Structure 1
Amino acid sequence: MNNKLLAVLCAFLVSVTISAQEDRVVENIINEVNENSDLEQLAHELMDVVGPRLVGTPQMENAHDWAVKKYESWGISAENQQWGTWKGWERGVTHVDLIEPRVQSLQARQLAWSPSTKRKGVTAEVVLLPEASDSLDFVKNLTSVKGKIVLASMYQPTGRPDENWEEWATEESFQKMKDQREEQEQAWREKMEKTGHNNKSLHLALEKAGAAAIVTLYWSRGFGANKVFGAYTQNIPTIDMNLEDYGLVYRLAEYGDKPELRIVAESEDMGEVPAFNTIARIEGTEKPEEYIILSAHFDSWDGGTGATDNGTGTVVMMETMKILKKLYPNPKRTIIAGHWGSEEQGLNGSRAFVKDNPEIVENVQALFNQDNGTGRVARINGQGFLHAYDYLGRWMEAVPDEIKYDIETTFPGTPSGGGSDHSSFVAAGAPGFMLSSLSWNYWNYTWHTNLDTYDKIVFDDVRRNVILTAILTYMASEDPETTSREKRVLPVSRRTGEQMTWPEPKDATRRGGLD
């Protein structure tokens, strides 16, 4: 046998050996996820026991500590890395009762960072937002809210989502409802314009005028679903109320029945507290200075328990790390799990990490981020990296057909300027990719709502996402080539008509909610 033929044969045998090794690891990953998953246990501990993870709360700190201990139990090193501080606050009991003209307990919760009532609460008559002809007239009419509880949101005449109307109503009735709602929304916008305020300044003006409390409704256009965000007030409580009960109280006030509420909203202002990311690492053996990052924001709003935003993304990355540590303990490249804090207030944890760790960001092989609900991954965008198809395509080949054939890909795509934590890395030129999920009515029913709870998790879909993420991570680590960061020439924006530009990196808000 001549030397040339021997070299070809050796190369072939090496290729077959590597391929067989890859097949075994991939097969083991699939079996491990399907037979030994800890997803339900992780989700229970995170959502049911730790609970919602609002930045600045003890629950957020508990979550960070829980994650470190969980990683250590799997033999994975992890630590909490402080990146800033935030306004500290702890939610207590919220209880709201209608006491006039009859007694009924209502569905409501205080907004994040709302000031506390005294233990006995606040009892007062409820009034509508004052009418005014202009901003000067509004200032004059604000005297009417002193000592009153003010309804500061638009009344919603129907709590049925549009698809429910469309299914059951006559065409004429459905159109009539939509027209009336559009007219009402326009009237509300005009009413707000006449106050001279936006939502934030309006709440502060009501507080300054001596209102006893503010009640809001931010309906999510789904049965029983409200968006739940933060309070603007400094001294009086701000309460979010479900549509059905808000409508009841609104109608009583509008018809002159002089409703009274008793609001108990206990909370504690905890001053300035540290804010963290939790970072776990499995060290690489051949190229330890190159990195695959598993990305998921750890914080949530606290109307529910943050199950689909982003508890599911969190447990996907944790389960992936656990499986890789067991089946692939000596990766070629270092694998990092980044559980970012304060994503909800502007990608703060990931932006801080990018700013503070340039040596890691410069050597990212790939970042995989998951953040938009409980559904199986359905879309991957190349984020504007010109050769993303080449390497993602190679890695996807190892993914089972029943998973990858359901995934729509866009290459080279365009870079995300925000929305989730991969954007922080893409802005810095690192190849970060969003593993975007099927909807499962995410936007209306669980995204930032009071319904974002454990029961909304679809574990079969989440398990598929673990398989996908683990295989992509393994293939990215084993790839002999370093990924290209070459960027495409971005197209002209359809919205602005101007040439799109690559997003610029931004630093985090390092001291939040305190000014």
Structure 2
Amino acid sequence: MKLTDIILRSNVGRKATTFAAGAMLCSSMAFAQQANKAIVDAIMNEGTQNSQLEKLGRELMDGIGPRLVGTPQMKQANDWAVAKYASWGIPARNEQWGTWRGWERGISHIDMVSPRVKSLEGTQLAWSPGMGKKTATAQTIILPDLADSMAFKAWLPNVKGKFVLISACQPTGRDDANWKTFALPESYTKIRAQRDTVTKQWAARIRKTGLNARTLPRALEQAGALGILTNNWSAGWGVDKIFSAYTKKVPTVDIGLEDYTLVYRLTEAGTPPTLNIHTESKELGEVPTFNTLAEIKGTEKPNEYVMLSAHFDSWDGGTGATDNGTGTLTMMEAMRILKKIYPNPKRTILVGHWGSEEQGLNGSRAFVEDHPEIVANLQALFNQDNGTGRVTSLAGQGFVEAKDYLSRWLTAVPDTIKNRIKTSFPGQPGSGGSDFASFVAVGAPGFSISSLSWDYSTYTWHTNRDTYDKIVFDDVRNNAILAAILAYMASEDPIKTTNTKTPGITWPKQTKATRKGGFD
């Protein structure tokens, strides 16, 4: 059967026919021999020869940038996606699921002005208070190792008018692989032990204050500190984790490892440097938050659903390129390909770009709560959210029959992609980590298509280096093609999937979405 014949057949519609289970299986096998190859070949060709991934990546990561929930850039991304889908002839919408603390990053300058002049690499943490047009100039002080909370309270007045360093001074800025390659074995063992000791001792130092990572910064600002300085090193060259601030009145700034340890050493030596800090972030009040949804309507079983899934939001130290810009691009490109090659699917193909995954899967959890009719009729959901690498694993998430239908769908995937994927059945149900878990928790067949690392956890996951240049587009192209083929096969399968849970597995409980967040 020619591709043009298949598309023509889809365009003129399908006639509903009822088959017995055995006949349906024969029909599925027959389709695998004819239509599947034509469609799959066309998907492969479109995804390889006419890929839009680089263009989409530049528009999203370079043009819009990071997509922190509650920021104007997040809403800009929602609107951009709706317009992009419309340009492909795919209906899309933004669906509000809650509200969040609105915040917008502004200009930041962190400079050492004595004992010498040096601009420091640093990032104001998300939702950190701004300073308007003011600049604070002060010396630094290190949180000391005190005996207990009473000693901490006695010391606390010393922070007034100072910038307080509240993170450990790492003994090395080289990653473990570099040490392992070049160091003597005893040096490698020594530096690892030293680093572990420093980390443990600093954690004990904070515990002795009677406070924790959340409450310590607030106590320091209440005592008159002008700002909080941190270093959340990610154990790689020049890379830090960038999360949220806990201060309410003064800025919290993560200083890059090399500059933080410089400032720390000068302070520890009794010659505390003087810093100028200027941050201009803005509070925007309570703002609406959205999921972006797009669909290709089914022609035979429109009330059964195949879903593609990726969270849209990110932290904002970098531009959210691999967490989860690459997952977003994968699913957008898959939908574009499907609309062009397979415009009239049997089942409705729906894509969800979720908001506030980073704060607890809130967008997808809200969708599960708000759309029980979709969840109850879900054929399968495929989610991608662990970096830029090619997909290398697929697990059954604890569903008894997952091996049958996932294996059936994978038979259509070209060997160049399929042979890299390790499957495991029945697997364990995901209890968190990414948005497929929101569906698994309610017994719906949601699956993670999991990717090769590319040092994701160290270098790009929630870091200041998660930028466009880290995207490996050859791998993302493979993932978009894979997602499109899986969606096509799940849509065409004459057999409806089942969601029987494997006996003996403790199933995760459903967690409700946080519908209003960021204000605590």
TM-score, L = length of structure 1: 0.95
Q: Are residue 111 (structure 1) and residue 130 (structure 2) matched?
A: no
Report the Cα distance in structure 1 between the residues aligned to 2:232 and 2:344, rounded to whole angstroms.
Answer: 49
The one-letter amino acid paired with 2:515 is R
TM superposition shift of 1:17: 6.1
The one-letter amino acid paired with 1:447 is W
Larger mean Cα displacement after TM superposition, 176-185 or 478-487: 176-185
TM superposition shift of 1:435: 0.4
Query: What SS is found at the alignment partner of 1:92?
Result: coil
Q: For 1:514, which of 498, 510, 519 is the aligned residue? A: 519
Residues 397-416 of structure 1, C-alpha deviations (whole Å, 9 max, x = no match): 00001111110111000100
In the TM superposition, 1:145-294 aligns within 5 A as 145-294=159-308
Q: Are residue 323 (structure 1) and residue 328 (structure 2) matched?
A: no
TM superposition shift of 1:13: 9.8
TM superposition shift of 1:489: 1.4
Supply the RMSD in Å over aligned alpha carbons. 1.5
Query: What SS is found at the alignment partner of 1:435?
Result: strand
Q: Is the 8 A contact 2:132 2:281 kept in 1?
A: no
* CA spacing shift, 1:192–1:375, aligned 2, 3 Å: same
Residues 309-365 of structure 1, C-alpha deviations (whole Å, 9 max, x = no match): 000000110001011011111000000010000000000000000000000000000
Aligned to 2:17: none
Q: Are residue 504 (structure 1) and residue 509 (structure 2) matched?
A: yes
Aligned to 1:123: 137
Query: What SS is found at the alignment partner of 2:398?
Result: coil
Q: Is the 8 A contact 1:131 1:141 kept in 2?
A: no
TM superposition shift of 1:179: 2.1
Query: What SS is found at the alignment partner of 1:278?
Result: strand
Aligned to 2:66: 52
Residues 80-136 of structure 1, C-alpha deviations (whole Å, 9 max, x = no match): 000000000000011100001110001001000000023132111111013321101
Report the Cα distance in structure 2 between the residues aligned to 1:98 and 1:87, rounded to whole angstroms.
Answer: 32
Give the share of equivalent positions with the same residue, in percent. Answer: 61
Q: For 2:50, which of 16, 19, 36 is the aligned residue? A: 36
Q: Is the 8 A contact 2:417 2:482 kept in 1?
A: yes
TM superposition shift of 1:19: 2.5
In the TM superposition, 1:381-460 aligns within 5 A as 381-460=395-474
Residues 5-47 of structure 1, C-alpha deviations (whole Å, 9 max, x = no match): xxx9xx9899646631111000000000111010000000000
Query: What SS is found at the alignment partner of 1:109?
Result: strand
Aligned to 2:325: 311
Q: Is the 8 A contact 1:130 1:142 kept in 2?
A: no
Residues 353-390 of structure 1, C-alpha deviations (whole Å, 9 max, x = no match): 00000000000000000000000000001000001010
* CA spacing shift, 1:265–1:18, aligned 2, 3 Å: same
Larger mean Cα displacement after TM superposition, 294-303 or 184-193: 184-193
TM superposition shift of 1:189: 2.3
Report the Cα distance in structure 1 between the residues aligned to 2:204 and 2:30, rounded to whole angstroms.
Answer: 71
Query: What SS is found at the alignment partner of 2:413?
Result: coil
TM superposition shift of 1:157: 1.5
TM superposition shift of 1:190: 2.2
How many residues are aligned here? Answer: 498
Q: Is the 8 A contact 1:95 1:109 kept in 2?
A: no
Report the Cα distance in structure 2 between the residues aligned to 1:508 and 1:118, rounded to whole angstroms.
Answer: 34
Where do 5+ consecutive residues of structure 2 fail to align?
1-21
Aligned to 1:141: 155
Q: Is the 8 A contact 1:149 1:211 kept in 2?
A: yes
Q: Is the 8 A contact 2:27 2:494 kept in 1?
A: no
Residues 127-184 of structure 1, C-alpha deviations (whole Å, 9 max, x = no match): 1013321101101100000010000101112100111111111111111212222222
Aligned to 1:350: 364
The one-letter amino acid paired with 1:312 is T
Report the Cα distance in structure 1 between the residues aligned to 2:193 and 2:472, rounded to whole angstroms.
Answer: 36
Report the Cα distance in structure 1 between the residues aligned to 2:233 and 2:506, rounded to whole angstroms.
Answer: 35
Q: Is the 8 A contact 1:431 1:485 kept in 2?
A: yes
Report the Cα distance in structure 2 between the residues aligned to 1:13 and 1:130, rounded to whole angstroms.
Answer: 73
Report the Cα distance in structure 2 between the residues aligned to 1:16 and 1:189, rounded to whole angstroms.
Answer: 62
Q: For 1:364, which of 378, 382, 396 is the aligned residue? A: 378
The one-letter amino acid paired with 2:509 is E
Q: Are residue 338 (structure 1) and residue 352 (structure 2) matched?
A: yes
Report the Cα distance in structure 1 between the residues aligned to 2:196 and 2:236, rounded to whole angstroms.
Answer: 17
Q: Is the 8 A contact 1:130 1:144 kept in 2?
A: no
Q: Is the 8 A contact 1:351 1:424 kept in 2?
A: yes
Query: What SS is found at the alignment partner of 1:413?
Result: coil
The one-letter amino acid paired with 1:509 is T
Aligned to 2:13: none
Report the Cα distance in structure 2 between the residues aligned to 1:183 and 1:46, rounded to whole angstroms.
Answer: 41
Aligned to 2:309: 295
* CA spacing shift, 1:12–1:156, aligned 2, 3 Å: closer
Query: What SS is found at the alignment partner of 1:220?
Result: strand
Report the Cα distance in structure 1 between the residues aligned to 2:88 and 2:132, rounded to whole angstroms.
Answer: 45
Q: Is the 8 A contact 2:144 2:205 kept in 1?
A: no
Q: Is the 8 A contact 1:47 1:454 kept in 2?
A: yes
Q: Is the 8 A contact 1:284 1:330 kept in 2?
A: yes
Q: Are residue 22 (structure 1) and residue 27 (structure 2) matched?
A: no
Where do 5+ consecutive residues of structure 1 fail to align?
1-7, 491-499
Q: Is the 8 A contact 2:138 2:276 kept in 1?
A: yes
Q: Is the 8 A contact 1:111 1:231 kept in 2?
A: yes
The one-letter amino acid paired with 2:73 is Q
Residues 41-85 of structure 1, C-alpha deviations (whole Å, 9 max, x = no match): 000000000100000000000000000000000000000000000
Q: For 1:471, which of 476, 480, 485 is the aligned residue? A: 485
TM-score, L = length of structure 2: 0.94
Q: Is the 8 A contact 2:28 2:493 kept in 1?
A: no
Report the Cα distance in structure 1 between the residues aligned to 2:510 and 2:90, rounded to whole angstroms.
Answer: 30
The one-letter amino acid paired with 2:508 is P
Query: What SS is found at the alignment partner of 1:116?
Result: coil
Report the Cα distance in structure 2 between the residues aligned to 1:13 and 1:159, rounded to whole angstroms.
Answer: 60
Report the Cα distance in structure 2 between the residues aligned to 1:480 and 1:396, rounded to whole angstroms.
Answer: 16
Report the Cα distance in structure 2 between the residues aligned to 1:416 and 1:430, rounded to whole angstroms.
Answer: 12
Aligned to 1:86: 100
Query: What SS is found at the alignment partner of 1:371?
Result: coil
TM superposition shift of 1:482: 0.3
* CA spacing shift, 1:131–1:144, aligned 2, 3 Å: farther
Report the Cα distance in structure 2 between the residues aligned to 1:14 and 1:216, rounded to whole angstroms.
Answer: 58
